[in-house]
Structure 1
């Protein structure tokens, strides 16, 4: 066994996220393991772009509240202690509610090239507000 030193927290790139989102990488793949694990912190209203994962993704909310939304319009309200699984290829986004920070662990398996994430277009403000309404929030 070995200690994995704490990595620096970095601000995520604006071309993949809306608002202020911060990422601390926990684990990168080391064969034979393909595990990718990171701690992601969203400020209120911040969110990912639409994206999908080649082998799926598990999100475990550690603090606050947020949304996970797929292309069919399904909205899951994520609160501390909740987990969400997005299957391989399912296009989705996630982020904080308008009034809360949201922090989650993002767990996925790397694909053949990189982490297997396909990044798509930003989530519009109108789409974000529509998801909040569907979730029964403002």
Structure 2
């Protein structure tokens, strides 16, 4: 019987390739995990740095807005002082009403406003709820 060495050589080559593949996997998997963790850490660091920059920019914008609001308030105070000066140093009731009405611009549509009537007594929620009639007395 004639012996052919090809199957033995092929089996040996396949076993060595399998051994090399398993060896490479045993070395490559932990190395890949370390690399993946490093990349993940870099990504988180970059994200944290970007968030910090955003917070700094927002704080700077808020500071600038507050400075501008303060300047506007100073100008309003100068205008009020000038108005009082024109009125001979006394604030009239009409001017106070004007300031109150101007302040109401900033309120939402759902604000309840009590308007004083005679003797400065407000009409408390008249007509609220759709019924104009007073509640009925039930002696139970």
Structure 2 length-normalised TM: 0.21
The structure where helix makes up a greater share of residues is 2
TM-score (norm 1): 0.21
Q: Which has the higher contact order (CA 8 A, sep 6+)?
A: 1
**Structure richer in strand, relative to its length:** 1
